[in-house]
Copies of this chain bind each other. A is one copy, B any other.
Amino acid sequence: MLSHTEENYLKALLKLSFESKSEEAGTNELAANLAVKPATATDMLKKLKEKGLVDYEKYGKISLTAVGKTSAIDIVRKHRLWETFLYSTLEFTWDEVHEVAEQLEHIQSAKLIDKLDKFLNYPQFDPHGDPIPNQKGEIKTQFKKTLAEIAAGKACRMVAVKDNSKSFLQYVVKVGLGLHHDIKVLTRQEYDALMEIKVNGIKSSITQKFAENIYVVCSNCAAGKPCTETIDCKQ
């Protein structure tokens, strides 16, 4: 049985493993992610190593063991299913769900999660477009680009967000954007990459920083036609 705190460390390590191609993390990075001091993280890493959940040697890089990864994915599954429940069933907005799901993800009951999954009709993605791991712990990886990579004149469809912060999510709505919205890139400035886009007939100017936090697939893939990009967006 894992404590609340241990679960949060595993989840943070999983997140960091997705963010680095080596699938490894550092102590400071981990500590920053959990809003604790590095000394605290070191202590916990010793415990998690002892429990066989992480691979870790003093002064070395950190990675999850198979067992640790399975636990971490299970927590992510719970988090995203709860977010989906809050959004779809209880009509929370997409910027409200994360905070509550952070608590709900620690509820221990396999039956609860399976029943919830069934009730929600086995959703594939959460309200932020992130994939929901299935019962086996498999995660559907969707190939996607950021809006910042889309050339002027091209069209695409928004499928997820990178930044999950309340302020960003509210800003996205304010600009008239949202998941599954079609976006036309009108112009892009050479100097600072400021883009002009059109969504539902409305034009907006967005910065590069903003565009880098919006995930899209190319217009053809979104429409179910053969992909015209080098990667298959929907693979």
CA distance A111 to B112 in the complex (A): 21
Task: Indicate whether A109 reaches chain B with its CB closer than 8 angstroms.
Answer: yes
Which residues does chain B contribute within 8 Å of A103, judged by CB atoms?
Answer: 107-109
Task: Indicate whether A89 reaches chain B with its CB closer than 8 angstroms.
Answer: yes
Task: Indicate whether A211 reaches chain B with its CB closer than 8 angstroms.
Answer: no
What DSSP secondary structure best describes chain A's contact surface?
helix
Which residues does chain B contribute within 8 Å of A99, judged by CB atoms?
Answer: 109
CA distance A116 to B89 in the complex (A): 9
| Cβ B100 vs Cβ A115 within 8 A | no
Closest Cβ–Cβ distance, residue A197 to chain B (whole Å) = 32
Which residues does chain B contribute within 8 Å of A100, judged by CB atoms?
Answer: 107, 109, 111-112
Beyond A104-B107, A107-B103, A108-B103, whether A115 also contacts B91 by CB under 8 A is yes
Interface string of A87-121 (1 = CB under 8 A from B): 00111100010011001100111011001100100
CA distance A107 to B99 in the complex (A): 11
Task: Indicate whether A132 reaches chain B with its CB closer than 8 angstroms.
Answer: no
| Cβ B89 vs Cβ A111 within 8 A | no
CA distance A107 to B104 in the complex (A): 7
Closest to A86 in B: B112
Which residues does chain B contribute within 8 Å of A86, judged by CB atoms?
Answer: 112
| Cβ A116 vs Cβ B90 within 8 A | yes
Which residues does chain B contribute within 8 Å of A96, judged by CB atoms?
Answer: 111
Interface string of A195-226 (1 = CB under 8 A from B): 00000000000000000000000000000000
Partner of A92, one of B90, B107, B108, B115: B115
CA distance A109 to B91 in the complex (A): 14
Closest to A91 in B: B115
The 10 sampled A-B contact pairs (Cβ below 8 Å) are A86-B112, A89-B119, A90-B115, A90-B116, A91-B115, A92-B115, A96-B111, A100-B107, A100-B112, A103-B107
Residues of A near any B CB (own CB < 8 A): 86, 89-92, 96, 99-100, 103-104, 107-109, 111-112, 115-116, 119
List the 6 shortest-distance A-B pairs measured between CB atoms, nearest first: A90-B115, A100-B109, A103-B107, A100-B112, A90-B119, A104-B107
